[in-house]
């Protein structure tokens, strides 16, 4: 294949080997333009990749419309994206080609499409997004929608690295949901170059999105995203956490940063919500669910570090293991285990299956078959879920659902007996947990502010009686007015464990304030 060198009005022909430019020549290959025949050969050869690599942004179309041959074709709003791209790439076949190609290549380079321009000037598709990367993005788009945080300042970083343009940023920010923004990001990335994709991966690492790197590298890099089971727990406990987690007057956000759960950008997003508890806590959970499993584990540790064990326990499920009894020997058991494990896993994967819906309805958010023996394990959080396990309904459902698995074996029946010692162990653990502040007690605290502001002077002695940590004490005592000190004290107490409510009421009574006790009746 031969290419033309365009210099002023002289157009000499240059013959190249292997359909590529010789980079050792005096002029860079990127400054040379293909003949009409060469252009068409390259366009047809890499047509599919080219169609998915051109992003017909407003800026690109506007620049192309300045070229006479493009004016009508780029302004046709009836065309869908691929049709429009095909029109853009179909340069004129007559003498107008020579008038068009130079401006066309320049517009591509000036508007974020240098990787497309290189295809025609170098005769190679090396920098177009590889097929395997493109398919990977398509395959993983649902996971990315669930886990990638589009508000982690990644877009501005990609702009500074010349991966995204301001036009791309407008498209992304124009979406109203996190998932919508991620979809738009994936669409844009999929039209970029191989090198742009690598810069995207590097930026994910810099922006604490290691779980997305894990997803896109098949686990070779990064760390696992939060598990489906843990996401289910966060969803189930969301309202309790929003109502009871202290993030405004405790050092939670600072602790999350020091434990590398939050970035400074995450901190700013929370602080932007002011001191309104539910807004801050909603933002914290919204950020958390788009983090890694490592981040989630450290989040629970941070709650305990900030004297919020009662909130941390809302996320910590108990596990009970129950043996499956069969009427045959080890060979049959091995066959049963394999069949049960496979079928049970499929049922759990399908959130609409009878098993999944029942487990979800009784508060069980994780389950599986243990390898090496026929044992089924269940994860749960509440006494009510443990009651459901104990009453035999679970055993009946399992026998009915999985009976047909064993028709080809000598097993005629199986069941899951409940071991009393396991039930007692779990009940003891549940009883040892601290309860969050009861709703009626939180309500009494909310109503008390105006009633006790003139009667109560909040000082160090009172706060020492309540055994509040130094950070919370400072947050209360540093309020400017007596009213605000009382208000913040009551807000802090509303997020303490329920066992601290009565001692607080007693401490106020000793100081002549009984409004909270009366509000509680």
Structural domain harbouring 337: 318-431
380 pairs with which residues across the strands?
Answer: 318, 364
Per-residue pLDDT tens digits for 428-439 = 999 999 999 999
pLDDT at 79 over 70: no
Stated pTM of the model: 0.83
Q: By three-state DSSP, how is residue 497 classified?
A: strand
Pairwise CA distance, residues 428 & 421, whole Å: 11
Least reliable range by pLDDT among 2-11, 348-357, 394-403, 457-466: 2-11
pLDDT at 17 over 50: no
Q: Are residues 197 and 243 in the same domain?
A: no
Pairing of strands 13-15, 375-380: unpaired
Q: Are residues 210 and 251 in the same domain?
A: no
pLDDT at 510 over 90: no
Q: Are residues 96 and 7 in the same domain?
A: yes
CA 409, distance to chain mean position in Å, is 44
Which tops the pLDDT comparison, 228 or 70?
228
- CB burial of 479-488 (b: ≥16 within 10 Å; e: otherwise) equals beeeeebbbb
3-state helix, strand and coil shares in percent for the chain, rounded to the nearest 5: 60, 5, 35
Q: What mean pLDDT, rounded, does the chain reach? A: 86
Q: Are residues 143 and 114 in the same domain?
A: no
pLDDT score for 418: 78
Which tops the pLDDT comparison, 5 or 184?
184
pLDDT score for 491: 94
Spatial CB neighbours of 238, under 8 Å, sequence gap ≥ 6:
285
% of the chain residues with pLDDT over 70 = 86
**Token duo for residue 51:** 């169609």
Per-residue pLDDT tens digits for 350-381 = 888 888 888 888 888 888 877 656 678 888 89
Look at the block and give the residue holding tokens 């000037």: 121
Please indicate, yes or no, if residue 312 is contained in any of the structural domains.
no
Give the DSSP per-residue string, 165-225.
-HHHHHHHHT-SSHHHHHHHHHHHHTTSBHHHHHHHHHHHHHTT-HHHHHHHTTTSSS-PB
**Residues 414, 419, 423: CA angle, nearest 5 degrees:** 135
Nearest Cα to Cα of residue 147 among 72, 63, 253, 231: 231
Over residues 388-398, mean pLDDT: 83
Whole-number Cα distances in Å, 12 to 3, 26, 175, 379: 9, 14, 50, 75
**Token duo for residue 138:** 């398509």
pLDDT score for 389: 86
Whole-number Cα distances in Å, 299 to 152, 226, 279: 18, 12, 18
Over residues 261-286, mean pLDDT: 96
2 pairs with which residues across the strands?
Answer: 15
pLDDT at 20 over 80: no
Pairwise CA distance, residues 520 & 508, whole Å: 14
**Token duo for residue 269:** 């997003």
pLDDT score for 402: 77
Which tops the pLDDT comparison, 175 or 510?
175
Q: How confident is the model at residue 146 (pLDDT cuts 50, 70, 90)?
A: very high
For the domain that residue 475 is a member of, what is the CATH number? 1.10.533.10
Q: Are residues 48 and 97 in the same domain?
A: yes
Boundary (domain end) residue, out of 364, 399, 431: 431
Q: How confident is the model at residue 57 (pLDDT cuts 50, 70, 90)?
A: confident
pLDDT at 417 over 60: yes
Domains contained in the chain, number = 5
Per-residue pLDDT tens digits for 463-500 = 999 989 999 999 999 999 988 999 999 999 999 999 99
Q: By three-state DSSP, how is residue 381 classified?
A: coil
Please indicate, yes or no, if residue 311 is contained in any of the structural domains.
no
Q: Are residues 52 and 81 in the same domain?
A: yes
Q: How confident is the model at residue 120 (pLDDT cuts 50, 70, 90)?
A: very high
- Half-sphere exposure in the Cβ direction for 247 (13 Å, CA): 29
Residues in the chain: 521
């Amino acid at each position: 294949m031969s290419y033309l060198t365009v210099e002023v009005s002289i157009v000499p022909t240059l013959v190249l080997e292997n359909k590529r430019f010789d980079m050792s020549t005096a002029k860079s290959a990127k400054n040379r333009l293909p003949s009409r025949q060469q252009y068409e050969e390259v366009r047809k050869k890499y047509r599919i990749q080219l169609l998915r690599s051109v992003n017909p942004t407003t800026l690109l179309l506007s620049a192309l419309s300045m070229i006479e041959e493009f004016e009508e074709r780029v302004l046709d709003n009836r065309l869908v994206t691929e049709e429009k791209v095909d029109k853009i790439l179909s340069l004129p076949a007559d003498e107008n080609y020579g008038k068009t190609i130079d401006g066309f290549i320049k517009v591509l380079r000036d508007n974020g499409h240098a990787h497309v321009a290189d295809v025609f000037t170098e005769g190679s598709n090396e920098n177009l997004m590889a097929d395997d990367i493109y398919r990977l993005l398509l395959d993983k788009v649902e996971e990315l929608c669930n886990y990638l945080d589009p508000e982690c300042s990644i877009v501005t970083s990609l702009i500074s690295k010349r991966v995204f343009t301001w036009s791309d940023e407008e498209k992304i920010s124009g979406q109203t949901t996190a998932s919508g923004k991620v979809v738009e990001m994936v669409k844009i990335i999929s039209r970029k170059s191989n090198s742009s994709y690598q810069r995207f991966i590097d930026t994910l690492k810099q922006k604490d999105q290691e779980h997305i790197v894990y997803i896109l590298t098949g686990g070779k890099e990064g760390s696992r995203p939060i598990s489906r089971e843990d996401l289910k727990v966060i969803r189930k406990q969301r309202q309790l956490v929003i109502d009871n987690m202290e993030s405004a007057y405790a050092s939670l956000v600072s602790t999350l940063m020091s434990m590398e759960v939050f970035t400074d950008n995450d901190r700013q997003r929370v602080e932007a919500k002011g001191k309104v508890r539910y807004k801050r806590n909603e933002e914290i959970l919204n950020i958390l669910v788009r983090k890694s499993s490592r981040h989630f584990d450290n989040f629970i540790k941070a709650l305990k570090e900030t004297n919020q064990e009662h909130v941390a326990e809302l996320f910590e499920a108990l596990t009970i293991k129950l043996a499956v009894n069969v009427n045959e020997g080890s060979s049959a058991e091995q066959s049963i285990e394999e069949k049960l494990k496979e079928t049970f896993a499929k049922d759990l994967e399908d959130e609409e299956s009878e098993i999944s819906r029942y487990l979800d309805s009784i508060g069980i958010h994780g389950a599986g078959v243990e390898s090496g023996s026929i044992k089924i394990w269940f994860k749960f959080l509440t006494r009510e879920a443990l009651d459901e396990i104990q009453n035999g309904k679970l055993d009946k459902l399992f026998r009915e659902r999985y009976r047909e698995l064993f028709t080809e074996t000598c097993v005629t029946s199986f069941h899951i007996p409940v071991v009393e010692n396991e039930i007692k162990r779990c009940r003891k653990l549940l009883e040892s947990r601290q309860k969050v502040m009861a709703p009626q007690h939180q309500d009494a605290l909310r109503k008390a502010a105006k009633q006790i502001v003139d009667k109560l002077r909040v000082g160090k002695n009172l706060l020492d009686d309540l055994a509040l940590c130094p950070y919370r004490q400072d947050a209360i005592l540093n309020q400017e007015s007596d009213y605000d000190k009382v208000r913040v004290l009551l807000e802090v107490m509303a997020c303490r464990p329920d066992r601290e409510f009565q001692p607080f009421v007693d401490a106020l009574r000793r100081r002549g304030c009984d409004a909270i006790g009366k509000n509680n009746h």
